[in-house]
Structure 1
């Protein structure tokens, strides 16, 4: 037979079954595609993109812009599990918590996520490469906290804060300190020994950046920092209001422990490591004092020097 010769099985004859209308319905389509803003994922995506733009310094900035050109009014990202936890515990203002994909989930990560959720802080999962860029390649341990630009106080507000609490004013001024980590360390010492705030120049000086936040361990959330357009003039204005100005310099002849002005309304000026105080700032001081140390050490780190000086001031005031 022909069917057998071809080697093919014979097909069953008979009427074909209908599709029940499935084919016809599948061809009808589902209508026009809804615009992006009507889709369920749009709000989350738009929020993530907005936060990312802010982290790069604004919508108009390029993702390839070097970190050194970051706008001063752009938010920054604190990296590291301990710094992030300390900042969240201290209620540092934050806009987003970044967690790297497949990060090792320890107690600190879980606590950070819980605090962020409780405070309504956006939680964003990102790649490690992206977190490297956001934290400018610092050690982030798979987690980062985005903080908004710091809101600086006016220099006069530091004095008002002391007077409102009926305390003797104590202000720490920084002259030429350009490392944000030194600023953060000085903030911790200032808070520990009862200072009412920090004063920094608006130019050629460290400001409150992610590095300062990280080193301060959250102290900057409660200790105000004021900016002076001209540090010398601001120190003169403080003197006119009854405050004394004592500068730290290794070439001074008076030890910081012997300064008789420590119990008075006081501004302690810390210079940069190596250069010390600038000439104009030195001339604006009522007294110059030194921290005695062995001749083998040329100078102290600004953060260490500030801590020692503030301890001596606090010791005098306890008397």
Structure 2
């Protein structure tokens, strides 16, 4: 007689006792896994990418804050002599003393600035590197001048104005060097764009060797409009660029009120700014050198213009 049909998935009873089971794995698999992680904590979610971007920007702001510390013994002493608006002097513990360090501490005390002794690791963190020579000067945010006030001031003093306009300059070291050269050769100020430009931070202070405290720097919302304002006030606008129709040797208007426009070594001068220059001028060089650093080019032109202005009959 045939056996009755049995379903294949039906477990047969074992008369010998319980069989080996799953060990509770099925029950554990049914347990809840807790609260769902926030979207910003899930690496595959767009919110997580936004979170990372916000952290990156916050880190960038932190790095910019570090730039408000002038470091190095000579730059700190020069800034203190130039009466740079400072808040405090930091000296790393264990730093070997010399005349410059002692002079910096003495100057800070004479100006009523607090002098803080901190661990070298703390100063490393404040500056972002260890290239501080054991000393740092915390400076206040720079107070920018107004372009129109600068033009009016030169007119009121009946002086022959000479200004430098920087276009596409994003390196604060270049900015600081241009400020120093402009001050050294009798210029009246430096104008920078409000956006996409290097600002007067600790790095620029250091490169300028404190001259930023005596030479005004102004921000322009729109460089093209600012250049037109200079032209309306009788200034000749000279743009520096390779292959210009004039060279430094042939330009003969240096004794007039003049604005020197300097672009970056890579991008040069912006198209609209270039179109509003009265003259495009190049610096004579040997053929195998393509271009000069922006601050070097500005220094060369400022030096030559200052020489022409010193000639008898031009003062």
TM-score class, shorter: 0.7 to 0.9
Residue number among 151, 162, 177 corresponding to 1:159 in the alignment: 151
How far apart are residue 75 of structure 1 and its match? 7.8
1:95–1:147 contact (8 Å) kept in structure 2: yes
Task: Specify the alignment match of 1:99 in structure 2.
Answer: 91
Residue number among 100, 103, 115 corresponding to 1:108 in the alignment: 100
Task: Specify the alignment match of 1:6 in structure 2.
Answer: none
Task: Specify the alignment match of 1:188 in structure 2.
Answer: 180
CA distance in 1, matches of 2:156, 2:64: 31
How far apart are residue 163 of structure 1 and its match? 2.4
Task: Specify the alignment match of 1:213 in structure 2.
Answer: 205
Matched, 1:168 2:160: yes
CA distance in 2, matches of 1:218, 1:211: 11
CA distance in 1, matches of 2:104, 2:86: 12
SS at match of 1:137: coil
Task: Specify the alignment match of 1:254 in structure 2.
Answer: 246
What per-residue deviation string (whole Å, max 9, x for no partner) do you get for residues 119-159 of structure 1?
A: 11111111111111212216100000000110000111221
Question: Greater CA radius of gyration, 1 or 2?
Answer: 2
Scaled by the length of structure 2, the TM-score of the pair is 0.77
CA distance in 2, matches of 1:185, 1:286: 25
SS at match of 2:131: coil
What per-residue deviation string (whole Å, max 9, x for no partner) do you get for residues 201-228 of structure 1?
A: 0111111011111011111110000000
Matched, 1:143 2:135: yes
1:75–1:149 contact (8 Å) kept in structure 2: no
SS at match of 2:286: coil
SS at match of 2:249: helix
CA distance in 2, matches of 1:157, 1:73: 29
1:245–1:267 contact (8 Å) kept in structure 2: yes
Q: 1:75 to 1:278 in 2, by over 3 A?
A: closer
1:80–1:140 contact (8 Å) kept in structure 2: yes
Task: Specify the alignment match of 1:311 in structure 2.
Answer: 303
Task: Specify the alignment match of 1:199 in structure 2.
Answer: 191
How far apart are residue 298 of structure 1 and its match? 1.2
Scaled by the length of structure 1, the TM-score of the pair is 0.77
Q: 1:74 to 1:211 in 2, by over 3 A?
A: closer
CA distance in 2, matches of 1:253, 1:278: 18
Listed as ranges, the gaps of 5+ residues in structure 2 are 1-54
- For residues 260-271 of structure 1, the aligned pairs below 5 Å read 260-271=252-263
Q: 1:138 to 1:253 in 2, by over 3 A?
A: farther
Residue number among 70, 73, 79 corresponding to 1:78 in the alignment: 70
2:167–2:269 contact (8 Å) kept in structure 1: yes
How far apart are residue 161 of structure 1 and its match? 2.9
1:246–1:288 contact (8 Å) kept in structure 2: yes
